[in-house]
Amino acid sequence: MGVNQIDSKLFAKAFIAGAKNLEANKEWINELNVFPVPDGDTGTNMTMTIMSAAKEVSDLGDNVDMTTLCKAISSGSLRGARGNSGVILSQLLRGFSKLVKTEEYITIPLMASAFSKAVETAYKAVMKPKEGTILTVARGMSDKANDLAADGCEDMEKFCAEVIAHGEEVLKQTPEMLPVLKEAGVVDSGGQGLMEFLKGAYDAYLGKEVDLSIKDDSAKEEEKEEEEIKYLYSIEAKVVLTRNFISKNEADLNSFLESVGESVVLINDGSELHIHIHTNDPGLVLQKALKYGNLKGVKILNRKIEEDKESSKEETTVAPAFNEPPKPFGFITVAAGDGLVEIFKSLGVDYVIEGGQTMNPSTADFIDAAAKVNAETIFILPNNKNIILAANQAAELVTDKTLLVIPTKTVPQGITAVVNFIPDMSADENEQTMMSEIGNVKTGQVTYAVRDTSIDGKEIHKDDFMGLADSGLASVGTDKNKVIEELIDSMVDESSELISIYYGQDVSEEEATKVSEMISDKFSKVDVELQSGGQPVYYYMISVE
């Protein structure tokens, strides 16, 4: 039998229980992803967000006051927030905590008011709130809570049961509010995650036996065996071209580099070649490069020595003591895949957070990265629509530097933003230029379906190849090359000048080269560039400009 007011001890117990129930159901929530791609991560994002706060709450022990508890819930979830659903969940918790932190007990009227504050805070965090999402479910429960409080409900157990039951009803209606949910035959995954959290918390309130232990996974990272370095040297070099460098030369050079190393990046900007490679024979690489022009800015690092240096550094979220005054501008971006990481680094990005589709960085990841970049103004390129809110949240929390988030939704948009940065321009001018230029980039991605479904009127079967464009599903079928061709055909128009193809970790160079040649033949009036991206999940990432 529940009690009619909740003290800090019971609140802490219910919070941890709710977090654990969400964690137990995360894989099921992941599978509610509208698009049947192998990167459904709503459950994972919400779990990592809530467990960040649950760890802080668990560390407080049993005798904790409401103010300290609410601070742990709010700060833990804000810093740990990942993905749009995780950020919205953290804002709901922030708003709720703000109203109850000064009280000794949570009563029905206070809980109803706290629900209202939670919803208000979460809606403000989203620039364009959509109905049929976690926000709608949260607002529905808030309305029910306030109706019950206004009617004089004095039974906390009944109050919580009716609010949760109403939330379940609102969740069932989400497919009627968002056509994509109805067509895919699923409810909103974020709303489902919120319900699992609240149902777990309610079980603890009722006195049911629940496991409140919080595992610390940080030790797992330390136990990982050191990965063997296959290629010892990392080379970065620029070659000032002194001869005509045609596409055959580029193909030959790229083929040679692939034969003597890995993580190859070869960029030709017309007057210079930018080369990056991991190899055991730096001399051979430089000798080959000299055939095409004069070397400049050669940098050779022993990867083993650099790795040892990194492993000996003490991890800290405090800004390092920089020996030089801060530069005016810096860049932080997000990418998954050795090739994409190296492309960003070669373009001058200061810090690449390795993540993206399968692992959305947290707000804390952006805060920590900003501490390591010695710049007054730092541009953040999230490169994924599901990471933008976490980046924005970090920008609000960092006070010693200016963080400007350029809302890049794809890696090609991020590359375009960096390329169009002009050091002599002001931060505002660069922000406007980058915002304008990323709008000219079309992005397509090729992956496979993990279940049968229907999207945009197209039937999808498990293991089909899918071509996803900015506007949604562009092509689907069992022939990967046909899917790629149809995807690019939907992106190219009369103004298109360049098609860039980044092939993923599950694609061989030989296959990628054949695809590039096929696209060059099909779209003969458009330049085609091929790069090794090394990204997971997506066989190809394609941009058209």
CB 437 within 8 A of CB 474: no
Q: What SS3 state is found at 402?
A: strand
Strand ranges (E), 289-438 = 293-302, 327-335, 351-354, 375-381, 402-405
Token code pair at residue 79: 């810093």
Q: How many CB atoms lie within 10 A of CB 456?
A: 13
Q: What SS3 state is found at 33?
A: coil
Selecting from 1.25.40.340, 2.160.20.60, 1.10.3720.10, 1.10.10.10, what CATH number does the domain 8-213 have? 1.25.40.340
Selecting from 3.30.1180, 3.40.630, 3.40.50, 1.10.3470, what CATH number does the domain 442-544 have? 3.30.1180
pLDDT value for 130: 86
Rounded Cα gap, residues 235 and 238, in angstroms: 10
Rounded Cα gap, residues 289 and 269, in angstroms: 15
Rounded Cα gap, residues 212 and 13, in angstroms: 7
Beta 442-448 vs 293-302: how paired, if at all? unpaired
Token code pair at residue 202: 């309610």
Closest to 227 measured CA to CA, from 307, 285, 156, 301:
307
Q: What SS3 state is found at 465?
A: strand
Rounded Cα gap, residues 390 and 360, in angstroms: 9
Q: What is the pLDDT of residues 478-535, one digit of tens each?
A: 999 999 999 999 999 999 999 999 999 999 999 999 999 999 999 999 999 999 999 9
DSSP-assigned letter for residue 226? P
Burial (CB < 10 A; 0-12, 13-18, 19+), residue 29, is buried
CB 358 within 8 A of CB 41: yes
CB 214 within 8 A of CB 54: yes
Residues 6+ apart with CB under 8 A from 64: 8, 9, 12
Output the furthest CA–CA distance in the chain (Å, rounded): 85
Distance of CA 277 to the CA centre of its chain: 27
Token code pair at residue 445: 């991605």
DSSP-assigned letter for residue 297? E
Helix axes 134-150, 189-205, angle to 10 degrees: 40
Residue 379: beta bridge partners? 331, 404
pLDDT value for 321: 56
Token code pair at residue 294: 């004069």
User: 92-115: buried (b, 16+ CB within 10 Å) or exposed (e) per residue?
Assistant: bbbbbbebbbebeebbbbbbbbbb
Count of positions (residues) in the chain: 545
CB 492 within 8 A of CB 512: no
Describe the strand order of the beta sheet including 442-448 as a list of residue ranges: 472-477, 465-469, 442-448, 540-544, 498-503, 527-532
For the chain, domain boundaries: 8-213, 228-313, 320-440, 442-544
Q: Which helix (H) or strand (E) holds 509?
A: helix 509-522
Residue 73: beta bridge partners? none
Rounded Cα gap, residues 487 and 466, in angstroms: 9
Token code pair at residue 219: 């030790």
Q: What SS3 state is found at 184?
A: helix
Segments of the chain scoring below 70 in pLDDT: 1-2, 35-36, 38-40, 216-228, 269, 306-322, 356-358
Rounded Cα gap, residues 122 and 90, in angstroms: 8
Under CATH, domain 320-440 is a member of which superfamily?
A: Phosphotransferase system, mannose-type IIA component (3.40.50.510)
pLDDT value for 150: 97
Rounded Cα gap, residues 219 and 240, in angstroms: 47
pLDDT value for 105: 95
- The yes/no answer on whether domain 228-313 falls in CATH 3.30.70.2730 is yes
pLDDT value for 317: 42
